[in-house]
């Protein structure tokens, strides 16, 4: 009589930590967007359009998700040079996204919409806080991308261990989806 051994599909502990962290980020942005909706009902709320550069930034971050996915695919195939190349392109697109966000902030300032300080309005301040916090999360992703890219150059790097790039990919897709939510919210819902 043969005994069956069942193996459970367990989530890697680092992935679980990442999911918990992502959950807390979701809660933070849910709180911010909820506060935005509540604050918007006040009489001194300033309505304004998002600068067009935010649309371009959205296309850039969507493109970066594609390059990130290609990096994961190449890592799983053991193709180190294309893998590193796609990681680098993803990081460059992340920096481009942050630059475009900064240009969006400057465009608002040029239109006399103060984001902070005594001249600011709650609407502009909320926009700044929400998008700046997202920008910081993108910066964290770019740093992680360069870290994984640097680690891939190590002679000790095991080409079969794709966990680091999978973790970074999950985080990167998360900040991409989060931006899409925030962009839609700020453009059409909020």
Identify the residue with better confidence: 6 or 110: 110
Class for the domain spanning 49-189: mainly alpha
Q: In the chain, what are the domain boundaries?
A: 49-189
109, pLDDT greater than 90? yes
Cα-Cα-Cα-Cα dihedral of 70, 71, 77, 79, to 10°?
120
Q: For residues 69 and 130, what is the distance between their CA atoms, to the nearest angstrom?
A: 26
- What are the pLDDT digits (tens) for 47-94? 889 999 999 999 999 999 999 999 999 999 989 899 999 999 999 999
2, pLDDT greater than 80? no
Residue 43 CA neighbour count, 13 Å, CB half: 0
């Amino acid at each position: 009589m043969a005994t069956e051994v069942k193996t459970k599909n367990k989530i890697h502990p680092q992935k679980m930590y990442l999911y918990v962290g992502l959950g807390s980020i979701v809660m933070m942005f849910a709180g911010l967007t909820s506060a935005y909706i509540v604050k918007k009902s006040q009489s001194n709320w300033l309505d304004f359009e998002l600068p067009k550069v935010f649309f371009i930034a959205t296309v850039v971050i969507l493109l970066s998700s594609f390059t990130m996915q290609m990096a994961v695919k190449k890592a799983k195939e053991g193709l180190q040079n294309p893998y590193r190349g796609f990681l680098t392109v993803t990081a460059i697109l992340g920096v481009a996204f942050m630059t475009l966000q900064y240009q969006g902030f400057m465009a608002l300032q040029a239109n006399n919409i103060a984001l902070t300080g005594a001249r600011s309005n709650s609407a502009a301040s909320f926009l700044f806080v929400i998008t700046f916090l997202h920008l910081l999360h993108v910066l964290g992703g770019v740093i992680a991308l360069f870290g994984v890219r640097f680690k891939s150059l190590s002679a000790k790097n095991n080409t079969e261990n794709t966990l680091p790039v999978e973790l970074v990919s999950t985080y990167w897709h998360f900040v991409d989806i989060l931006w899409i939510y925030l962009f839609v919210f700020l453009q059409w819902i909020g």
